[in-house]
């Protein structure tokens, strides 16, 4: 505990762009390779905003010979250089030195834009060792130079020039970034995507370091993009793609959509908002998926294509779907400055209202296309009901092989040896999706749960048997509820509870342990139940990355760093926020993960029985007493 005095002098006020340099992770997500490239995306997105609003048609990105300096030039209107009425300084200087300053806060200068918070240009300036802005406007050239966010002088007026536009040249600061090496293939890929999303736009990428150059232009728009995606995936297409380009007259939302069904067993939706890639989806994706599900279902009902006894679910309709969705929204609400997810609630209905009737009409006018899609959907439904993964269980050497009614949402593994297979019981469909994509399907099965399960301590046996989530667990594991424990009936050698590393996740894990303790105690006695330990924090410093499962572990990691270190600390909101690859590396990979085995020793049974009854039972008095006696031990409470 600090012995210093805490008063008004203890409060630090960061002036200008100092906050950006002190906490860069808040603005660019980190100071690793992702953060380095984010600087370029911010400047490119500003140039693309000019394109989207009809003021530019060409962008040139140049990686200079030193491999560290990058220039972005456009033929747009040019950033204003006249004096700002409020500050009295050039508008150019205001934009590059002031957070939340820009032309994107009203609809006069930009109807739609990817840059919304007015921090992109100033953040890049703050995190650059040097930055030069050249503006061609009103027949004259203008230039201003900066160093680590501070202007080296006023805007200088140069010689007369033709045309208009802006060129930004910057060199990231080595005091902030440990490695200034760019991924040129990633840059080229990202720039080409911009040309798919803006018909007629030409983007040139000049790599002076490697002496190469390439120019991108795709007049086919998202339809060309979809063709490229499917070609890369090498999945055979089922039917002719559906393409839509339409604007909602009321909201002004523009929707460009191309989708097709393939023979693949997954869905691949690439979504964008104002040309910004939304890797984590959002309300626009939800609107699209809702439109697809409803349109295909109505087509099947209209033509009486639903087979009797076969239940068609939305997941069957979406299996094999590949889509490119690009929307332009006037006032988008992104999740954070890195803009990974769209949060506007109204966009879901807007996208659905544009896409659903158009897709329905397309299917009705092209019945052969609709029939091919429906055949694909029925194939998926039949495979799900038979459980494509569970079909491999015919090879399992257990007495109950082929007789289990496996849960439909179980993503089973291929291994036929229970001693080498694992079942992950995962909190939520979102986390379940990441786990399914990241797992090793040879021996890892995934069973997602929907929310918090029934408290088995307060429910009778009849209610437990009537609860679908709990009976799904029993069916997947292979041991019946309240039946004598027989290891030979197990379908998996390890049952691993995978929940978020927060209070809700701990509560769900506790409810599951209560169920196993009361109704499948043999699993605990045999040491078959484990708790996964997903990270709550990611701590990066330079090239080093560490993971912490709680606050104490995070503090221990930070304490080991040098005093002058500027680590980037990221707190995961939940397993569903983690990319599949990252979830595997930190939590699923047997070589790197950490598991806690849960057991109840026979000599500890009375204490466990009392604890379970007190904390999970119907009577609240015991819990009240426990809280009153132990409250002093609580330091940080996650509410």
CA distance 399 to 422: 19
> Shortest CA distance to 435 belongs to which of 511, 338, 513, 534?
534
Q: Bridge partners of 169?
A: 71, 132
Tell me how far apart the alpha carbons of residues 252 and 249 are, in angstroms, rounded to a whole number: 5
| pLDDT value of residue 311 | 85
pLDDT band at 383 (very low <50, low <70, confident <90, very high): confident
| Confidence check: pLDDT of 387 > 80 | no
The 10s digit of each residue's pLDDT in 38-81 is: 999 999 999 998 998 889 999 999 999 999 999 999 999 999 99
User: 604-617 in b/e burial notation, b at 16+ Cβ within 10 A?
Assistant: eeeeeeeebeeebe
Among 221-225, 382-386, 466-470, where is mean pLDDT lowest?
Answer: 382-386
How far is Cα 25 from Cα 337, in angstroms, rounded to an integer? 10
Strand partners, 422: 444, 494
Which of 24-38, 50-64, 92-106 is the least confident region?
92-106
- What confidence category does residue 405 fall into, taking pLDDT thresholds of 50, 70 and 90? low
In the predicted structure, residue 296 carries a pLDDT above the cut 90: yes
For residue 603, what pLDDT is reported? 65
Residue 179 sits at φ, ψ, to 5 deg, of -130, 125
CATH of region 387-534, choose from 3.40.190.10, 3.20.20.140, 3.20.20.80, 3.40.50.670? 3.40.50.670
Q: Whose structure tokens read 């908002």?
A: 273
Query: Which stretch of 176-185, 202-211, 396-405 has the lowest confidence by average pLDDT?
Result: 396-405
User: How does strand 321-328 pair with strand 422-427?
Assistant: unpaired
Residue 502 and residue 510 in contact, taking contact as beta carbons nearer than 8 Å: no
Q: What is the pLDDT of residues 113-153, one digit of tens each?
A: 444 333 578 999 999 999 999 999 999 999 999 999 999 99
pLDDT mean across residues, the chain: 84
Roughly what angle, to the nearest 10 degrees, separates helices 367-386 and 345-365?
Answer: 110
Q: Which two tokens stand for residue 185?
A: 């293939």
Q: Comparing 346-350, 478-482, 504-508, which segment has the lowest mean pLDDT?
A: 478-482
**Quick check: helix, strand or coil at residue 58?**
strand
Percentage with pLDDT > 90 across the chain: 42
Least-confidence region, from 183-197, 213-227, 549-563: 549-563
- List pLDDT tens digits, range 190-212: 999 999 999 999 999 999 999 99
Domain 18-216 fold:
Heat Shock Protein 90 (3.30.565)
pLDDT class for 394, splitting at 50, 70, 90? very low
Over residues 306-329, the pLDDT tens digits come to 777 788 999 999 999 999 999 998
Domains 18-216 and 387-534 share a fold: no
Residues involved in catalysis: 427, 500, 502, 504
The pLDDT of residue 396 is above 50: no
Whether residue 175 has pLDDT greater than 80: yes
Packing angle of the helix pair 184-197, 33-52 (nearest 10 deg): 20
Fold of 222-385: Ribosomal Protein S5; domain 2 (3.30.230)
On whether the pTM is more than 0.85, the answer is no
Instruction: Kindly state the average pLDDT of the residues 83-87.
Output: 81
pLDDT of residue 392: 37
553-587 pLDDT, tens digit each: 888 888 888 888 888 888 877 777 778 888 888 88
The tokens describing 513, both together, are: 């342990």
Task: Write the burial class of residue 8 (CB in 10 Å: 0-12 exposed, 13-18 middle, 19+ buried).
Answer: exposed
> Exposed/middle/buried for 290, CB within 10 Å: 0-12, 13-18, 19+?
middle
Q: Which of 19-28, 225-234, 509-518 has the lowest mean pLDDT?
A: 19-28
Q: What is the DSSP-derived secondary structure letter of residue 402?
A: T
- Digit-coded pLDDT (tens) for 427-438: 877 788 888 988
Q: Please name every residue paired with 135 in a beta bridge, in sequence order, or none if there are none.
A: 142, 166
- Could you tell me which residues come within 8 angstroms of residue 288 by beta carbon, excluding any fewer than 6 positions away? 257, 259, 269, 271, 323, 325, 351, 352, 355
48/470 Cα distance (integer angstroms): 51
**Rounded CA separation 427/433 (Å):** 10
Beta strands in 2-160 (DSSP E): 58-63, 70-74, 128-137, 140-147, 150-151, 156-160
In terms of Cα–Cα distance, which of 171, 113, 186, 122 is closest to 151?
A: 122
Kindly state the tokens that stand for 96: 């590059």
Q: How far apart are CA 511 and CA 497, in angstroms?
A: 11
Of the pLDDT bands very low, low, confident and very high (cuts 50, 70, 90), residue 365 is very high
Asked if pLDDT for residue 393 goes beyond 50, the answer is no
104 SS3 class? coil
Asked if pLDDT for residue 28 goes beyond 50, the answer is: yes
For residues 154 and 618, the model is more confident at: 154
Domain ranges of the chain: 18-216, 222-385, 387-534
Q: Are strands 444-449 and 422-427 parallel, antiparallel or unpaired?
A: parallel
Kindly report each contact of residues 102-107 with a partner whose C-beta sits within 8 Å and lies 24 or more positions away, as own/partner: 104/49, 107/330
Residues near 504 by Cβ (< 8 Å), separated by ≥ 6?
452
């Amino acid at each position: 505990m600090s012995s210093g005095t805490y008063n008004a002098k203890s409060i630090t006020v960061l002036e200008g762009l100092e906050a950006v340099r002190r906490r860069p992770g808040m603005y660019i997500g980190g100071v690793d390779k992702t953060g380095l490239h984010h600087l370029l995306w911010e400047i490119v997105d500003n140039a693309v905003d000019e394109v989207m609003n009809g003021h530019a048609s060409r962008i040139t990105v140049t990686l200079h010979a030193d491999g560290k300096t990058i220039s972005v030039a456009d033929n747009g209107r040019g950033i204003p250089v006249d004096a700002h009425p409020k500050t009295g300084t050039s508008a150019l200087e205001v934009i590059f030195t002031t957070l939340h300053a820009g032309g994107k806060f009203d609809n006069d200068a930009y109807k739609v834009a990817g840059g919304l918070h007015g921090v992109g240009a100033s953040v890049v300036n703050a995190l650059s060792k040097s930055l030069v802005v050249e503006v061609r406007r009103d027949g004259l050239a203008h230039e201003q130079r900066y160093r680590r966010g501070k202007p080296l002088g006023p805007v200088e007026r140069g010689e007369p020039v033709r045309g208009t536009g802006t060129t930004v040249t910057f060199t990231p600061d080595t005091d902030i970034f440990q490695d200034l090496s760019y991924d040129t293939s990633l840059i080229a890929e990202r720039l080409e995507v911009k040309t798919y999303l803006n018909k007629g736009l030409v983007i040139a990428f000049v790599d002076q370091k490697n002496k190469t150059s390439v120019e991108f232009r795709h007049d086919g728009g998202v339809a060309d993009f979809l063709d490229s995606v499917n070609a890369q995936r090498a999945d055979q297409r089922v039917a002719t793609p559906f393409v839509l380009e339409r604007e909602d007259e009321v909201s002004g939302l523009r929707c460009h959509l191309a989708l097709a069904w393939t023979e693949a067993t997954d869905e691949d939706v690439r979504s964008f908002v104002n040309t910004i890639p939304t890797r984590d989806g959002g309300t626009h994706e939800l609107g699209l998926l809702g439109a697809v599900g409803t349109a295909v279902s109505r087509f099947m009902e209209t033509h009486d294509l639903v087979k009797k006894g076969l239940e068609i679910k939305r997941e069957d309709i979406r299996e094999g779907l590949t889509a490119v969705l690009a929307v332009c929204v006037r006032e988008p609400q992104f999740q954070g400055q890195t803009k990974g997810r769209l949060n506007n609630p109204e966009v879901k209905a807007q996208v659905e209202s544009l896409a659903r009737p158009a897709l329905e009409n397309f299917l009705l006018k092209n019945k052969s296309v609709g029939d091919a899609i429906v055949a694909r959907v029925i194939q998926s439904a039949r495979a799900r009901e038979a459980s494509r993964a569970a079909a491999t269980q015919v090879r399992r050497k257990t007495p109950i092989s082929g007789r289990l009614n496996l849960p439909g949402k179980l993503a089973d593994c291929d291994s036929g040896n229970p001693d080498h297979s694992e079942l992950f019981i995962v909190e939520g469909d979102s986390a379940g999706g990441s786990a399914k994509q990241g797992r090793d399907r040879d021996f890892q099965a995934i069973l997602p749960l929907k929310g918090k399960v029934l408290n088995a301590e307060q429910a009778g046996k009849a209610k437990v048997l009537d609860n679908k989530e709990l009976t799904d667990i029993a069916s997947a594991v292979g041991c019946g509820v309240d039946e004598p424990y027989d290891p030979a009936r197990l379908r998996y050698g390890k049952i691993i509870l995978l929940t978020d590393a927060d209070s809700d996740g701990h509560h769900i894990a506790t409810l599951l342990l209560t169920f196993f303790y009361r109704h499948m105690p043999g699993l605990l006695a045999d040491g078959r139940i484990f708790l996964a330990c997903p990270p709550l924090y990611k701590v990066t410093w330079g090239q080093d990355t560490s993971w912490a499962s709680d606050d104490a572990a995070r503090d221990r990691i930070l304490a080991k760093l040098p005093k002058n270190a500027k680590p980037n600390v990221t707190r995961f909101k939940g397993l569903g926020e983690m990319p599949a690859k990252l979830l595997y590396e930190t939590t699923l990979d047997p070589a790197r993960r950490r598991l806690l085995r849960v057991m109840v020793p026979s000599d500890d049974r009375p204490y466990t029985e009392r604890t379970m009854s007190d904390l999970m039972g119907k009577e609240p008095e015991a819990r009240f007493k426990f809280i009153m006696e132990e409250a002093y031990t609580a330091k940080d409470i996650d509410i």
